[in-house]
Chain A
Amino acid sequence: MQFSAESVLALAPDAASAKAATGLLKPGRWSALGDNAAAVWGQCQGSSGSPYQVQVDLSGPTFKCSCPSHKFPCKHGLALLLLKARDASLFSAEAPPAWVAEWLGARAERAQKKEDKQREKALAPPDPQAALKSAQQRWKQIDAGVAELRQWLLDQVARGLGSVGPASASAWESMAARLVDAKAPGLAQRLRHAADGLLQGGDWPAQTLRRLGLLQLACDAVARRDALDEAAVADLRVLLGWPLDKDAVLARATGVADDWRVLGVIQEERENNLHERRVWLQGERSGRRALLLDHSFGGRGFEQGWLCGTQQAATLAFYPSAAPLRALVAGGAGAAPVTGAQAEAPLPAHGGAQDALAAMPSPGVRAAASAEQEWTAIAGRIAANPWDGLHPLRCAQATPCRDGDGDGHGLHWAGRRLPLEIGQAQGWVLLALSGGQPLSVMGEWNGQTLRPLSAQGADGLWNWSAA
């Protein structure tokens, strides 16, 4: 597998781990380095005692280390992969030692068990009556909460936003808290977001009105959900903070098998030590884009790593949606044999947004879509699911730039300027990499700013990392 040192650093759970891993690249730290097609391994000398046994299963990559760190992946695992990226000649190709072979064997066994279990689950779904009843119960609670929110929204506008003062925040918060009680945490989060914007900046009345308007649309959608199709209801449930659980997605979706190119990876820390990871993929053959969204608590990290720029054969199960994007890995390439028909078939009826990209003249990932096609795809997705806020955007032939005297980094693409959401240091690296020449940039577009996750130019690759 070919990957860059930068893409390895992007796997680090935090900046400190990335830095510590780089510090372990000293000579003398490592011994017994070896690799084969499936894994790399080596022993790393810690500050004292016997060296740690470090191994990485390349099919993930998945890490294992005998050190006591609770971070995952730990600095030793990252450093091992960095060494591999930087100088593969350090590794001797040989049969793995017992401690590596055992782990790989155990992993394969576990994966098999998991697959069996999933199959069993699919064969014997939980009691449909009970599930239906519990769902009805929840909808009842949500309906009550949403009715209250509708009235509350009307009151705000009837009285006028001009009466909002510093004391209003607590009233808005208590409405949000009632929405949490009504099992609609997604709406509560949006209301809190609107409350945070009150009296902030000269633009706040229009900004607040936008947010309340979207909440109104959400209320309207809940009220007429019986008229909506299955995909739209699924989007509505995501909006309410009640997404389908993974088993349900795996059980009902048809897998899309493809060679998935990793367009970009980002990890962010949310509140309460919750880490969110977003992996953006695009199928080499289908041209479809997908988002793998995962969360983990503390420094536990994510079991499977995705290296930016690499390609993985996998079968993805898409969450039902009017603009399907989020997906789960349903299995490796072997899980569902790929046929041309299968790659194209699973596009749902509402997948108009995806169609624009899937129908690109050349389905190859390297040939990016035109600006026109990219923007049309985003507009189509918003039309299908108005509440989805984050969109993958690939900008071929885009030139990083700076605002005159300002501090901001921007991207000039197809006659327009997109503000970049990027740290100063990384922004400069991107600018240096371009030298005023266009790059291929992939990022997340939120309607106002683009957060770049990867870039490729004549002078090399760049990707997002916590370091």
Chain B
Amino acid sequence: MNASTAPHWQSLLPAAMVGTEKMALAAPALDGAVGALLTQLQAQADSPARALLQSAGVLAVCERAAAQGQPGPAPEAGAAAPDTRPALACGSLGITLRWVLAEAPVRLQIELLQRLDAAGLRLPAALLPLALEAGQRSVALRPALLAVLGERGRWLAKHSSYWRYATGSAAQAPLETRWSEGSLAQRVDLLREERRIDAAGARERLRAALPELPARERAELAAVLADNLSMQDEALLVALCQDRGAEVRQTARALLVRLPLSAPTQRAIARLQACLTPQRVLLVVKKWVIEPPQAAGDDWPADGLQAERPKGESLGERAWWLYQLARQVPLAWWTDHTGMAPAALLQWARKGDWTEALARAWLDVLRLAPDSAWCQAFLDHWPSKALQESPAAVLALLPPAAREPYWTQTLQAMHAGKVTGFNEVASQIVQAYAPGEHVSQPLSALLLEKLPLFLARSSLRIPQDELCCVLHPAVLAALLEPAALGILASPPDDGKARSAAQVLRNSLQVIAARHAFINLCPTPLPDENRT
């Protein structure tokens, strides 16, 4: 009920609007003491205008005294289900987490939420709105966030359409609805998920959907076949090699290279084998000689081989042909067929006339199906003359732990006079590790040893906070110690080298937050507010 439309105002308003000079005042008819008072006012007032104003004043006061909000039923949402996990206590860790959710890099947010989850805790109620907002901004944060929302968080998320991602309803929607109505990214995720569980089912789903999809979506979805790839996928991939979209054809051919027994790959092997001849001495293979074809084959276009060199191609015509042929052959064939190890093959290629064609082709195939022996060979014998790229391209194909020796080597070579490469190593490290993962303790120590040398002459390209997030937890305490002693307060001006703790002053909050959550115990902490 709106107070202003109540009958007593309706009787006063016409005269008030038109003016008591022109319209008679109709007294509001009310029972009880208020009605009696209004009647008395009307009788005593020296003018209708005065009676009207006094009546309005009396009614306004009575209304105020009676105002108690609107009657209404209890909230529809009901109460949140009881949480089984204890919440993080709202003490100092709570304050730290508040800062992290509001201002810290997503990488740190993910790490701390993961630690919360590992400790069997959930977010405290007071931080839920902040956390849900952070998840609204960052899709990457959501998996870690959903794990620690608890019943209370899911209940809260239901109250805002912006937080629908956290209510669990999207993931629970029927698979078919998600497939037909989801965004491309969601459909890629869905297909990837299905591919892991039911490879054939996912393939058939893709095959059925292909005719209706635009080229870009066909290419992205077809790439999902890389997971659990098998000969059963050959037919579909061969069909996709004739797709209208160049990107789709390229994706399909790249996947076929990973199926050595597939017909296209067998044809590619046959073509290449014709170019490779052994020179024997007394029946023992002494040397392999490679000679690119003298002319393009008629069957080449069908297999995506271009006879004509693209503009700006650095390879000569026959080298270009060789490069294309080699690009369609699995790396394993080379080692099997020639009996040479990857390192030997790279050295062999370097000595020959066709280094660039071979190195580029191998690198292309290696990218599609990373192989640690080949990666190592490339890193050890980088054909720097033949390739324009840096070894980082291959390094990125290795699992992070396998890359540490390379980073260690690069860092160890640095000294005060030569610090080049630090930025590259630092950004490779940050990219290599997912949030919550970190480099080994020796490498962390090495990074911290070289960082002040580097910062004395140059500046970091990646955010310093990000670098602090991949350091091994065991080195954090040492970075906080000088701070606790107040040593950071006076940076030395005498040109002495500064310590890592000093150069990382601005990231102290990130370091302290990580350190504070390392020892988060799995047992519930007493809730400070309840005591």
Binding site for B on A (CB under 8 A): 4-5, 22, 25-28, 31, 45, 51, 82, 86-87, 153-155, 157-163, 203, 205-207, 209-217, 220, 375, 378-379, 382-383, 386, 399, 401-402, 412-413, 415-419, 425, 428-429, 431-433, 435-437, 447-448, 450, 458-462
* In the complex, B61 has a CB within 8 A of chain A: yes
Chain A residues within an 8 Å CB radius of B208:
none
The smallest beta-carbon distance between B194 and chain A, in angstroms, is 35
* In the complex, B22 has a CB within 8 A of chain A: yes
* In the complex, B489 has a CB within 8 A of chain A: yes
| Cβ < 8 Å to A, chain B residues 43-60 | 47-50, 52-60
B75 in complex: contacting residue of A87, A160, A401, A460, CB < 8 Å: A401
Chain B residues within an 8 Å CB radius of A26:
483, 508-509, 512
A425 touches B79 (CB 8 A): no
Cα A161 to Cα B20 with chains together (Å): 10
The smallest beta-carbon distance between B21 and chain A, in angstroms, is 5
A417 touches B69 (CB 8 A): yes
Chain B residues within an 8 Å CB radius of A211:
60
Most chain A CB neighbours (cut-off 10 Å) among B67, B75, B79, B486: B75
How many A-B residue contacts, CB cutoff 8 Å? 205
Cα A154 to Cα B54 with chains together (Å): 11
Known: A153-B49, A157-B20. 12 other contacts (CB 8 A): A87-B91, A157-B49, A205-B16, A209-B13, A214-B57, A217-B58, A375-B68, A379-B66, A428-B129, A431-B129, A432-B126, A460-B529
A399 touches B75 (CB 8 A): yes
* In the complex, B519 has a CB within 8 A of chain A: no
* In the complex, B166 has a CB within 8 A of chain A: no
* In the complex, B159 has a CB within 8 A of chain A: yes
A447 in complex: contacting residue of B22, B67, B480, CB < 8 Å: B67
The chain B residue sitting closest to A28, CB to CB, is B483
Cα A378 to Cα B55 with chains together (Å): 22
A447 touches B64 (CB 8 A): yes
The chain A residue sitting closest to B529, CB to CB, is A460
The chain B residue sitting closest to A157, CB to CB, is B49
A27 in complex: contacting residue of B21, B57, B153, B508, CB < 8 Å: B508
Chain B residues within an 8 Å CB radius of A153:
49, 53
The smallest beta-carbon distance between B98 and chain A, in angstroms, is 8
If A157-B49, A379-B66, A418-B69 touch, whether A435 touches B17 (CB-CB below 8 Å) is no
Chain A residues within an 8 Å CB radius of B18:
160, 162
If A153-B53, A206-B9 touch, whether A28 touches B61 (CB-CB below 8 Å) is no
B54 touches A28 (CB 8 A): no
A412 touches B72 (CB 8 A): yes
* In the complex, B155 has a CB within 8 A of chain A: yes
A163 touches B19 (CB 8 A): yes
A25 touches B95 (CB 8 A): yes
B159 touches A402 (CB 8 A): yes
* In the complex, B350 has a CB within 8 A of chain A: no
The chain A residue sitting closest to B482, CB to CB, is A28
A213 touches B58 (CB 8 A): yes
B13 touches A205 (CB 8 A): yes
If A162-B17, A216-B57, A433-B126 touch, whether A31 touches B486 (CB-CB below 8 Å) is yes
The smallest beta-carbon distance between B146 and chain A, in angstroms, is 16
Q: Mark B278-318 against chain A: 1 for CB-CB distance below 8 A, else 0.
A: 00000000000000000000000000000000000000000
B87 touches A154 (CB 8 A): no
| Cβ < 8 Å to A, chain B residues 1-37 | 2-5, 9, 12-13, 16-23
| Cβ < 8 Å to A, chain B residues 132-184 | 151-153, 155-156, 159-160
| Cβ < 8 Å to A, chain B residues 484-508 | 484, 486, 488-489, 508
If A28-B508, A386-B61 touch, whether A154 touches B49 (CB-CB below 8 Å) is yes
A28 touches B57 (CB 8 A): no
A28 touches B53 (CB 8 A): no
Chain B residues within an 8 Å CB radius of A416:
68-72
The smallest beta-carbon distance between A323 and chain B, in angstroms, is 12
A435 touches B70 (CB 8 A): no
* In the complex, B120 has a CB within 8 A of chain A: no
A432 touches B128 (CB 8 A): yes
Chain B residues within an 8 Å CB radius of A31:
486
Could you pull out 19 A-B pairs where Cβ atoms are within 8 angstroms? A5-B95, A26-B483, A26-B509, A27-B480, A86-B92, A155-B49, A158-B47, A162-B17, A162-B18, A213-B60, A417-B70, A417-B71, A435-B155, A436-B80, A447-B63, A448-B67, A459-B529, A461-B529, A462-B126
The chain A residue sitting closest to B79, CB to CB, is A436
Chain B residues within an 8 Å CB radius of A413:
69
A378 touches B65 (CB 8 A): yes
Chain A residues within an 8 Å CB radius of B151:
435
Cα A383 to Cα B235 with chains together (Å): 88
B75 touches A154 (CB 8 A): no
B156 touches A217 (CB 8 A): no
* In the complex, B239 has a CB within 8 A of chain A: no
| Cβ < 8 Å to A, chain B residues 75-99 | 75, 77-80, 87, 90-92, 95, 99
B16 touches A154 (CB 8 A): no
A419 touches B69 (CB 8 A): yes
A160 in complex: contacting residue of B17, B527, B530, CB < 8 Å: B17
Chain A residues within an 8 Å CB radius of B53:
153-154, 157, 212-213, 216
B489 touches A51 (CB 8 A): yes
A460 touches B126 (CB 8 A): yes
Chain B residues within an 8 Å CB radius of A431:
129, 156, 159
* In the complex, B330 has a CB within 8 A of chain A: no
Chain B residues within an 8 Å CB radius of A22:
95, 99
Cα A383 to Cα B65 with chains together (Å): 7
Closest 3 CB pairs of A and B: A28-B483, A160-B19, A213-B56
Cα A436 to Cα B82 with chains together (Å): 11
A435 in complex: contacting residue of B95, B125, B527, CB < 8 Å: B125
Cα A210 to Cα B8 with chains together (Å): 12
Cα A22 to Cα B12 with chains together (Å): 55
Cα A372 to Cα B9 with chains together (Å): 27
Cα A401 to Cα B489 with chains together (Å): 48
Cα A437 to Cα B486 with chains together (Å): 46
A157 touches B16 (CB 8 A): yes
Chain B residues within an 8 Å CB radius of A213:
53-60
Cα A63 to Cα B68 with chains together (Å): 40
The smallest beta-carbon distance between A100 and chain B, in angstroms, is 19
Chain B residues within an 8 Å CB radius of A28:
480, 482-484, 486, 488-489, 508
The smallest beta-carbon distance between A30 and chain B, in angstroms, is 8
Chain B residues within an 8 Å CB radius of A417:
69-72
Cα A188 to Cα B68 with chains together (Å): 29
The smallest beta-carbon distance between A183 and chain B, in angstroms, is 23
The smallest beta-carbon distance between A383 and chain B, in angstroms, is 6
A401 touches B77 (CB 8 A): yes
Chain B residues within an 8 Å CB radius of A4:
529
If A429-B129, A432-B129 touch, whether A206 touches B13 (CB-CB below 8 Å) is yes
A436 touches B78 (CB 8 A): yes
Chain A residues within an 8 Å CB radius of B55:
213
The chain B residue sitting closest to A461, CB to CB, is B529
Cα A160 to Cα B153 with chains together (Å): 55
* In the complex, B452 has a CB within 8 A of chain A: no
A158 touches B21 (CB 8 A): yes
The smallest beta-carbon distance between A171 and chain B, in angstroms, is 16
A432 touches B484 (CB 8 A): no
Cα A209 to Cα B151 with chains together (Å): 50
The smallest beta-carbon distance between B75 and chain A, in angstroms, is 4
The chain B residue sitting closest to A380, CB to CB, is B65
* In the complex, B435 has a CB within 8 A of chain A: no
B21 touches A161 (CB 8 A): no
| Cβ < 8 Å to A, chain B residues 105-127 | 124-126
Most chain B CB neighbours (cut-off 10 Å) among A27, A214, A383: A27
The chain A residue sitting closest to B93, CB to CB, is A86
If A26-B509, A432-B129 touch, whether A203 touches B75 (CB-CB below 8 Å) is no
* In the complex, B478 has a CB within 8 A of chain A: no
The smallest beta-carbon distance between A92 and chain B, in angstroms, is 14
